[in-house]
Structure 1
C-alpha cells in the first residue's frame, strides 16, 4: 500500500502522507517528473524526511507512491454521508428521523470511484454515525486505496472496537472530529438518550488517543449541557486536543423545527457575515443514495451520481449560484451585506416556521426596498 500520494488539487499539486493532516505543494513539473521516476528523487526524500520523519532513500516509487491523475473536473473536496442512522438519539440532531438505508456495496464502490474521478482529494465520511454503518470498513478502505485523504466525523462510541481500531491504525485517516455532548455520564447520556454512551465515548477517545490517531473535538453546546462547557473544554485540554464549539442549532434536513428548542440562548452567537462559499463549485455533498448536492444543507436540486457519473457534477455550479441568491423575504433587505446566514439554511428555518430572530440576527426594524 502507498506511503505517499502525489495529486492535483484545485489547480495546484501536492504531496501528502495518509494519516497526516497536511502536505506540501510542488510545481507541476515535479508532479510530472514523479510519474517517470523509478525511485524517489533526492528533493522528495529530503522533503519527506523534514515533514514526516520518513526514510525514502533508495525506495522504488512503484511500491510506495500513488500518483493520482489529473481530472477534467474542478472539485477537490467532498462529503459522503454513509447513512442517516445513528446509535444515539440526540434531540438537537439536524437529521430528524434516523434511518440506516443506503446503497449496496457494488454501487458504493462505483460511487467512490466517481467521487475520485471528480478530482476529490479530501473526502469527509459522515452520517448519521458512519462507524455503525455495516459497510463503513469497506468504504473507508476503498477510499484510502483510491488515494483520498479521509476525514471522519464521529461520536467516537465505536473507536475502542478492536476491528474499527485496527482498520483506522492500518489505513489512517488524516483527521477525525469527535463530537462531545457533555463531561459527565449524567449529562452526556441524558443528551444522547442512550445509557452508557459517555462510557463508550471515553473508552473510544482514550483508545484513539493512545493509538496516535489524528483527532480534534467538536463541543456541542445545548441547553442540557451548557453548565458543563468549562468541563468539556478541560476534557479537550487534558488530552491535548484542539477543539471548536458549536452552539447554533439548525432545523432538520426535512425542514422540521423539533431540534431548535435545544438551543442554549446564552451561547447563541452572532454569525460572521456570509461572503459566499465554494459549495457546488469546488466541493460537493453526497447522500446515502448517491445524490450529489452543493452541501448537506442545500440538498435540492441534486444529481444522481449513480446514473450520471462525474459529468453530472458540471451542473452543480449553476445550482449553487441559484440556491445562494437572496430570495423571498430577504430579497429587498438592505442589510444583506452583514447577514450571517446562507440562503439554503434560511429556507430550512422558514420551512420549520422558526421565529425570524432564530436565523436573522439583525435588529428591528428591517427596512426593505422595492424590487
Structure 2
C-alpha cells in the first residue's frame, strides 16, 4: 500500500502521508512529474529529500510503490462526509439524527459510492454515523477508501476502538484523525447520558487502546443539562489522552426537524454563535447518507442526489441546490438582523420546524 498521496486540492497540489497531520504544498510541475512517471521509475531526488526532512521516511524504492497520485477531477470537491449507518450502540437524547435505524447500502452500492466520491476529487473523507465502528461493513469501507487515496477521519464515540479487528486495521493503515465525542467524565454521568450501562468503561478502554498505538485523537466535548457539572473534568479527560478538544454546547433539532433533542439543552451553556458569513457546502464539499444520497451538508438534506444511480455527474446538481437552500426564506425572510445572524438558512429551518425557542438560535429571542 502507498506511503504517500499526491493530489490536487482546490487551487493547490498537496503531498500527504496517511496518519500524519503535516503535509506540504508542491508546485504543479512537481505534481505533473509524479503523475507522468513510468511504473519502474525511482523516486525523484527532490521527493526523497523532502520526505526525509518532513517525516523521516526513506523512499529507497520505485515511485509507483511509494506514491499514489490522484488525477485532477472536473468537479473540484475537496472534502466529503459519509454516513455509513444511522444506527448506534448509544441512545443519547440529544442526538440530532432522531430515530436510529440500521439501514443502508449493500457492499456493491458502497463500493460504487466510494469510487464516485474519489472521482469527485475528494481528498479528505469523514466516516461518520450513527456510530461507524459498529457498522458490519466498516472495515471494508475503510480499507477501500484508504486504497483509493483519501485521507480519512473517523468520527466515533470511541467504544469500539479496542476491538482488535478495528485497531489492527487503523494502526496498519492510519487515519488522518479520529474524532471522539466525550459525554461525561464519570461512569454515572456518562452512562446516564448514553442511556446504556457499561458504556463509560468501553469508552475508556477504547481511548486507552487508541492512545497506546499513537493514533491521532481529537475530542468533541458535548455539554448538555445532564453533564454540564463535569465540563472541567471532561476537558481534563481530553488532556489526559493528549488530544485537542472543542466544546459543543448548542444542541440542534433532529435532521427531520424534530424537537426531542432540544430538551437536553443546558441553557446556562448556550453560546452566541459567530455571524454566519457563508460557506461552500455543496460547492467544495458535500455529505452522503447511508443510501448514497448526497446533500450539501449534514443539515441541509431537503434536496438530495442519488450518487449510486447517477454517478459523479449527479454532483453537478449540488451547487444550484446550495444556492436555493441558503436563501433566507420563511420566518427569516426580510429580517433586519440577518446580516449578523449566527445560523445558516438550512439550520434555521430545522429550528423553525421544531418550534424551538427563539433564544436557542435567533437574536430576536435574546434579552
TM superposition score category, shorter chain reference: over 0.9
2:357–2:365 CA contact under 8 A, matched in 1 = no
Aligned partner of 2:16 in structure 1 is 16
Residue from 33, 52, 57 that aligns with 1:54: 57
Query: Aligned equivalents of 2:136 and 2:242: distance in 1?
Result: 32
Aligned partner of 2:229 in structure 1 is 227
Q: Which runs of 5+ in 2 are unaligned?
A: none
Moved more, 337-346 or 349-358: 349-358
TM-score with structure 2 setting the length: 0.97
Query: Aligned equivalents of 1:284 and 1:103: distance in 2?
Result: 18
Query: Aligned equivalents of 2:353 and 2:182: distance in 1?
Result: 28
SS of corresponding position for 1:244: strand
2:358–2:364 CA contact under 8 A, matched in 1 = no
Instruction: Tell me the matched-pair count.
Output: 364
Query: Aligned equivalents of 2:22 and 2:323: distance in 1?
Result: 30
Deviation at 1:362, TM superposition (A): 4.0
SS of corresponding position for 1:259: helix
1:173 correspondence with 2:175:
yes
Residue from 296, 319, 322 that aligns with 1:320: 322
Query: Aligned equivalents of 1:154 and 1:269: distance in 2?
Result: 24
Residue from 337, 345, 361 that aligns with 2:339: 337
Deviation at 1:11, TM superposition (A): 2.3
Deviation at 1:364, TM superposition (A): 6.5
Moved more, 116-125 or 14-23: 14-23
Aligned partner of 2:207 in structure 1 is 205
Residue from 102, 112, 122 that aligns with 2:124: 122
Deviation at 1:71, TM superposition (A): 0.8
The one-character-per-residue Cα deviations of 1:235-286 (angstroms, maximum 9, x if unpaired) are 1112221100000100011111000010111111100000000100000000
Query: Aligned equivalents of 1:303 and 1:265: distance in 2?
Result: 37
Moved more, 36-45 or 160-169: 36-45
Query: Aligned equivalents of 2:171 and 2:301: distance in 1?
Result: 33
Deviation at 1:22, TM superposition (A): 3.2
Query: Aligned equivalents of 1:199 and 1:363: distance in 2?
Result: 40
Query: Aligned equivalents of 1:308 and 1:43: distance in 2?
Result: 41
The one-character-per-residue Cα deviations of 1:51-86 (angstroms, maximum 9, x if unpaired) are 211111x32111111111111111010000001000
Residue from 79, 82, 88 that aligns with 1:80: 82
Residue from 357, 360, 366 that aligns with 2:359: 357
Query: Aligned equivalents of 1:46 and 1:257: distance in 2?
Result: 56
Q: How does 1:177-326 map to 2 (within 5 A)?
A: 177-326=179-328
Q: Which runs of 5+ in 1 are unaligned?
A: 366-371
Aligned partner of 2:6 in structure 1 is 6
Aligned partner of 1:148 in structure 2 is 150
Query: Aligned equivalents of 2:31 and 2:299: distance in 1?
Result: 36
TM-score with structure 1 setting the length: 0.96
Query: Aligned equivalents of 2:168 and 2:150: distance in 1?
Result: 19
Deviation at 1:363, TM superposition (A): 5.5
SS of corresponding position for 1:14: strand
Aligned partner of 2:33 in structure 1 is 33
Deviation at 1:120, TM superposition (A): 0.5
Moved more, 204-213 or 8-17: 8-17
Query: Aligned equivalents of 1:293 and 1:238: distance in 2?
Result: 37
CA distance 1:364–1:191, shift in 2 (3 Å): closer
The one-character-per-residue Cα deviations of 1:160-208 (angstroms, maximum 9, x if unpaired) are 1111100110111100100000000000000000100000000000100
Query: Aligned equivalents of 1:78 and 1:234: distance in 2?
Result: 31
SS of corresponding position for 1:281: coil
Query: Aligned equivalents of 2:288 and 2:90: distance in 1?
Result: 22
Deviation at 1:329, TM superposition (A): 2.0
Query: Aligned equivalents of 1:245 and 1:43: distance in 2?
Result: 42
1:103 correspondence with 2:88:
no
